[in-house]
Amino acid sequence: MSAHILAIDDSRTIRTLLTVALENAGFTVTTAVDGVDGVDKFQDAQADLVITDVNMPNKDGFGVIEDIRSGDVNRAVPVLVLTTESGAALKERARKAGATGWIVKPFDDASLVSVIKRLTGT
C-alpha cells in the first residue's frame, strides 16, 4: 500500500512537480491551493505525510502546522516544509510549530522521495 501525501502550495507549478515526482515514486497525492484549503482537505485526506509551503495566501505554512498539531485528526503526521526560505529563524519557528523537516526549493525528486519513504516507513 502506498503512502498518501497531502501537498499544500499556492504555486500550481510546484503542485504539479510534486504530484508527478511523488506519483512516479508510487505515492498517492492530494493537493491543496493554500493553507485554508490544506487544513480543510487534511480533515478527510487520511494523509501519511504533509508537505506545506510557508508563504501562502489565506493561511501560511506555520498556521497549517499549528492547526494540524492542535487538531483532532492525525496530529502526529509528519509535516515537511517545502519553501524557498532557508533562514535559521524560520526553520526554528517551523520546528516549534511542529514541523518534522525542512526542504528548500527547488527540490531534488530523489532526495524528496527518500525523505518521504523514511518518514512514512514505505
Residues 45-101 have pLDDT tens digits of: 899 999 999 999 999 999 999 999 998 889 999 999 998 888 889 899 999 999 999
Look over the chain and give the mean of its residue pLDDT values, rounded to a whole number.
94
Counting every residue written for the chain, the total comes to 122
- Supply φ then ψ for residue 78, to 5 degrees: -65, 140
- Rounded to two decimals, the pTM is 0.95
Task: Provide long-range contacts, Cβ within 8 A and 24+ apart, for 28-33.
Answer: 28/2, 28/3, 28/4, 29/4, 29/5, 30/4, 30/5, 30/6, 31/6, 31/7, 32/6, 32/7, 32/8, 33/9
- CATH code for position 72: 3.40.50.2300
Question: What was the pLDDT predicted at 1?
Answer: 60
Of 1-5, 36-40, 95-99, give the lowest mean pLDDT range: 1-5
Q: How many domains does the chain have?
A: 1
Q: CB-based burial of residue 75 (10 Å sphere; 0-12 exposed, 13-18 middle, 19+ buried)?
A: exposed
- List the domain range (segments joined by +) for residue 112: 4-120
